[in-house]
Amino acid sequence: MIDHVSIPVSDLARSAALYERLLAHLDLTRLVDRPATVGFGKRYPEFWLNLRTNLLRAPADTGTHICLRAPTETAVRSFFDDALALGCTSAGDPGPRQAAMTTYFGAFIFDFDGNKIEAVNFPRR
């Protein structure tokens, strides 16, 4: 249903370096570099960073977040641990969760600009 998503960032180089490291855990690589945008994906850009130089940090209570699939629970943990080591903050430690239709393993972070990003793995049944 959704083809791609974009998030605003105040420092494109800093955020691109962060996401290049974090998204590697989710099997996404840096595919496109432009002066004001960077795109990550598997075969084509699915996750974009867009420079917004006057961006104010997003408040934690916006209710908005982006969830990206991880290949394993270990990848979820690595995504989360690297994010915290690189200066992001926790918005929900790695662990099992109950969704509307199934259980899953996920973790949430706030990036440098307050964007809430979740890494999730759905166990095979």
Residue 70 maps to which CATH number? 3.10.180.10
Domain that holds residue 17: 5-52+64-121
Domain presence at residue 59: no
17 burial level (CB within 10 Å; 0-12, 13-18, 19+):
middle
Is 58 among the domain residues? no
Look at residue 99 and tell me if it is in a domain: yes
Question: 8 phi and psi, to 5 degrees?
Answer: -85, 145
75-118, pLDDT tens digit by residue? 999 999 999 999 999 999 999 998 888 899 999 999 999 999 99
pTM of the model: 0.93
Q: DSSP readout, 63-79?
A: ---EEEE-SSHHHHHHH
Question: Which residue is associated with the tokens 């994010």?
Answer: 83
**Is 32 within a domain?**
yes
> Structural domain tally of the chain?
1
Q: What is the pLDDT of residues 10-61, one digit of tens each?
A: 999 999 999 999 999 999 999 999 999 999 999 999 999 999 999 999 988 8
113 within some domain: yes
Report the pLDDT value the prediction gives residue 125, as an integer from 0 to 100.
Answer: 62
User: Does residue 40 sit within a domain?
Assistant: yes
According to DSSP, the residues that pair with 89 across neighbouring strands are 110
Does residue 57 belong to any structural domain of this protein?
no
Residue 121 per-residue DSSP state: E
